[in-house]
Structure 1
Amino acid sequence: MPKTPLQTPLHQLYDEDFVRWVEATVACLKTRDIDQLDWEGLIEEIEDLGKSARRELESRISVLLVHLLKRCYVNSPDDYRGWQLTIVEQRNALKRLLKQSPSLKTYFQNVLDEVYQDALTEASTAYPLGEFPAEYSFSRELAALLADEFWD
């Protein structure tokens, strides 16, 4: 079957209309038309997929840690339920993300201390009178972080 040239080259579509670029790229991939592919754009987008997953992991860990810090170190019983619901929500989302991309478990260990410092800053800003630990105080085991209650 002869290949039909694209009306607009894919590299041009990438900047002009991203959705059309995606559709045309998928069409080229399905027909194995590698000659018309925008290789640079395709490489960039695939790299961004991995970065996006890592950003999501960092974001969810941060939200989880902020709420664990508040639940464990802020004496505000009226807020406990809401914080615990957020903890459950983030844990469930993290479990799904790690099931889809198990290699992120290694990345988790690499960013835990940095993400904790950001979470600590956020919790300390929200509760300036709170006494939060300067160093990471929860389990470093991923399974424990995703399941254990660290409060009394």
Structure 2
Amino acid sequence: MPKTPLQTPLHQLYDEDFVRWVEATVACLKTRDVDQLDWEGLIEEIEDLGKSARRELESRLSVLLVHLLKRCYVNSPNDYRGWQLTIVEQRNALKRLLKQSPSLKGYFQNVLDEVYQDASAEASTAYPTSEFPNAYPYNRDLQALLTEEPWR
């Protein structure tokens, strides 16, 4: 079957209408039309997929650590239940993310201390009269972080 040229080149669509670019790129991939592919845009988007997964891990880890810190170091029993629900929610989301992308487990270890520092700063700002540890206070094992209740 002869290939028909696109009305608008893919590299131009990338900047003008991203959804159309995605649809046209998928059509090219399905028909194996490599001549019309916007290789630079495709490479950039695939790279961004990995970055997006790493950003999600960092974001969920940060929320988890902030709530662990609040639960363990802020004396506010009326808030414990809400903090614990957020801890469960973030742990479940992290488990799903790590199941989909097991290679993120290594990335977790690489960013743990940096994310902890940000989480600690956030908790300190929210609760300036509470004292939070300067260094990461929990078990560094990923499975432990996803299951243990250090406030018990």
Q: TM-score under structure 1 normalisation?
A: 1.00
2 CA distance for matches of 1:52 and 1:125?
27
Whether 2:73 is the aligned partner of 1:68: answer no
Partner of 2:29 in structure 1? 29
- The number of residues matched between the two structures is 152
Q: Which runs of 5+ in 1 are unaligned?
A: none
Q: Which amino acid aligns with 1:105?
A: K
Structure 1 Cα separation of the partners of residues 150 and 63 of structure 2 = 16
Where does the alignment leave 5 or more consecutive residues of structure 2 unmatched? Answer: none
Measure the CA separation in 2 of the matches of 1:34 and 1:137: 52
Q: How does 1:3-152 map to 2 (within 5 A)?
A: 3-152=3-152
Q: Read off the aligned partner of 1:63 and give its amino acid letter.
A: V
Separation in 2, partners of 1:139, 1:130: 21
**1: CA distance, partners of 2:92 / 2:5:** 46
Root mean square deviation, CA, Å = 0.3
User: Equivalents in 2 of 1:4, 1:96: separation in Å?
Assistant: 42
Partners of 1:127 and 1:91 in 2: CA distance = 23
Distance 1:6 1:139 in 2: 55
CA apart distance, 1:86: 0.0
- Letter aligned with residue 94 of structure 1: L
Deviations 1:83-130 (A, max 9, x none): 000000000000000000000000000000000000000000000011
Which amino acid letter does the alignment assign opposite residue 34 of structure 2? I
> Secondary structure of 1:2's partner?
coil
**Residue 2 of structure 2: aligned partner:** 2
In structure 2, give the amino acid aligned to 1:117: Q
TM-score by length of 2: 1.00
Q: Distance in 2 between matches of 1:150 and 1:63?
A: 16
Cα distance in 1 between the residues matched to 2:118 and 2:49: 23
- Aligned residues: percent identity? 88
